[in-house]
Amino acid sequence: MNFVKRMKENSALRQLLIFMSILGPGIITGSVDNDAGGITTYSVAGAVYGYRLLWTLIPSFIALLAVQEMNARMGIVTGKGLADLIRESFGVRITFYIFIFLLVADVGNTATEFAGVAGSMNIFGVSKYISVPLAAVAVWVLVLKGNYRFAEKVFLLFSVFLLSYVVSAIIAGPDWAVIGTALVTPTVQFDREYITTVLGIVGTTVAPWMQFYMQSAVIEKGLKISDYKYTLWDVVLGCIATIVVAFFIVVACAATLHVNGIKINEASDAAMALQPLAGALAGQLFAFGLFVASIFSAAILPLATAFYVCEAFGFEAGIDKKFSEAPQFYSLFTIIILIGAGIIMIPGAPLIAITIWTQVLNAILLPVVLVCMMIIVNNKEIMEEYTNNRLQNAIGWTTTVILILLSAFLLFSGVGVG
């Protein structure tokens, strides 16, 4: 009792306690952000361009921070999900097209996650015809029959394994002085492949579905505006976690694969290629990290997508409802997993094409979602006194405009290699 009393009197300790209790949305979103698609993109970027693309992580970080902060603020102030807000502000037509795109993109994203499961388990000698169906069933059962909140905590714990990339990178023995310079020296190259990779990095870091996820995580937590400053720290921590992991993936691949001129197409290729160069341990750690990230996102993505689509169109949704109460929700969830896992099961499936097209869809969708967000977050009727300040608007609009330009460049020059 004395201890509690002391705790209450010590303001620094108390603030830390409050912070711990509201910690979550930002960190979890940050961890989900490094999914199979992200790991693939960062690996390929490191293998093809070495350290030259490291600088993109800094603007990506700023954009990610700005976007997620807006989501957190919108969630706290309105208590409504992003899908709700888009539907109420822009009407059914725009919402319909956004969500058709989002649905298709997320089916592709889910397929990428299952590809990550297949690839990483392959390194441990498990065939994809065993690992993928098992993973799909496990995810389905876990989310629908298990305790999702509990599962989320387990996943969060597992995301510590993402730090295995740090170990992999250090084992690879990179040249830190070169890395330091590369991080702050932007290099720009106007060819299709380069732009595609840059767009891929930004697109996978600030993935469109993350915005929906972040906002509903904030609402789920029941945060109040007086919690805002702590939430801000949560968001910052989550963004740092995302970028740090991304940084080490790029470094690990650049220090080994790029130096030796090895080309890769998938994240599991990177794990495979790392083994002879940096030792079996580095490769296995890389593969394990990939597996954890893939399965984490393979569970969250279909669930989240089904949820937003239902939210936008007014169907009942939620894992606490019965099938008869929310048929659309459960059907969507199951279908997304089935198609996602099914695509990977097809012998000789065009995995690279799926990854690239998914990224292109993400990249088209992102500016659209961002424009919607910017309009909503500046609407006084919705946000009252919590609209964007000048700096937030400057970062938000700059990100949006750059993304639109990059996407436009990509679309008009044809689709490059991911």
Partner 1 sequence: MALEVVKFSYLSEFVNLPILRISDNKRIGKLVDLAATTMQVYPRVTGLLVRTHRSKPPIYIPWSNVKRMVFKEHIAVEYPAVGADQQAKAAENEILICKTFLDKQIISTEGYKIVRVNDLQLLIEDKAKESTNLWVVHIDIGFKGILRRIGILRPVNSAFRWVTDRDIKDEFVSWKYVQPTATSSVYASVQLKTDASKLSEIHPADLADILEDLGTDERIALIESLDNFTAAQTLQEMQFKNRLQIVESMEPVRLAPIINEMQMDEAVDLLDACDIQKRQAVYAVLTPEKVTELKELSTLSVYSVGSIMNTDFVSAKPIETAGTVVKRIIVECEKSEMYRYAYVLDEDERLLGVVSLRNLLISDANMLIADIMIEQAISVQIDTRIRRVARLFFKYNFEAIPVVDDDDKLQGIVSFRDALASVYPEIKEEDSV
Judged by CB under 8 A, does residue 6 bind partner 1?
no
Compare residues 313 and 409 and give the one whose CB is closer to partner 1. Answer: 313
Q: Which of 77, 121, 171, 250 binds partner 1 (CB under 8 A)?
A: 77
Judged by CB under 8 A, does residue 93 bind partner 1?
yes
Q: Which of 92, 137, 408, 417 binds partner 1 (CB under 8 A)?
A: 92
CA 3 to chain centre: 40
Judged by CB under 8 A, does residue 313 bind partner 1?
yes
Could you give the dihedral angle defined by the CA atoms of residues 151, 153, 155 and 158, in that order, rounded to the nearest 10 degrees? Answer: -140
Judged by CB under 8 A, does residue 157 bind partner 1?
no
**Residue ranges in 193-222 that form contacts with partner 1 under rule CB under 8 A:** 221-222
Judged by CB under 8 A, does residue 322 bind partner 1?
no
Compare residues 193 and 316 and give the one whose CB is closer to partner 1. Answer: 316
CA distance 333 to 382: 31
| Sign of the alpha-carbon dihedral angle for 331, 333, 334, 340 | positive
CB of 137 to partner 1, least distance (A): 25
**Residue ranges in 237-296 that form contacts with partner 1 under rule CB under 8 A:** none
| CA distances to 200, 211, 252 from 407, in Å | 10, 19, 28
CB of 316 to partner 1, least distance (A): 7
Per-position DSSP letters for 39-94, written without gaps between them: HHHHHHHHHHHGGGGGGGHHHHHHHHHHHHHHHHHHHHHH---HHHHHHHHHHHHH
Per-position DSSP letters for 98-124, written without gaps between them: HHHHHHHHHHHHHHHHHHHHHHHHHHT
CB of 95 to partner 1, least distance (A): 8
CB of 314 to partner 1, least distance (A): 2
Rounded to 5 degrees, what are φ and ψ at 55? -60, -30
Under rule CB under 8 A, how many of the chain's residues touch partner 1?
A: 23
Amino acid found at 293: A
Are 331 and 317 spatial neighbours (Cβ–Cβ below 8 Å)?
A: no
CB of 315 to partner 1, least distance (A): 8
10-19 CB burial, b ≥16 within 10 A, e <16: eeeeeeeeeb
Judged by CB under 8 A, does residue 9 bind partner 1?
no
Rg (CA), the chain: 21
In the shown chain, the binding pattern of residues 29 to 68 toward partner 1, with x for contact by CB under 8 A and - for none, equals ----------------------------------------
Q: Is 173 helix (H, G, I), strand (E, B) or coil?
A: coil
Q: Which of 79, 173, 327, 350 binds partner 1 (CB under 8 A)?
A: 79
**Of 90-98, 360-368, 369-377, 405-413, which part binds partner 1 (CB under 8 A)?**
90-98
Judged by CB under 8 A, does residue 96 bind partner 1?
yes
**Of 24-32, 37-45, 181-189, 224-232, which part binds partner 1 (CB under 8 A)?**
224-232
Q: Which residues contact 223 (CB under 8 A, 6 or more apart)?
A: 22, 25, 72, 75, 76, 231
CA distance 335 to 351: 19
Q: Which of 91, 186, 327, 350 binds partner 1 (CB under 8 A)?
A: 91
Residues at the interface with partner 1 (CB under 8 A)? 1, 4, 77-80, 84, 87-88, 91-93, 95-96, 149, 221-222, 224-226, 313-314, 316
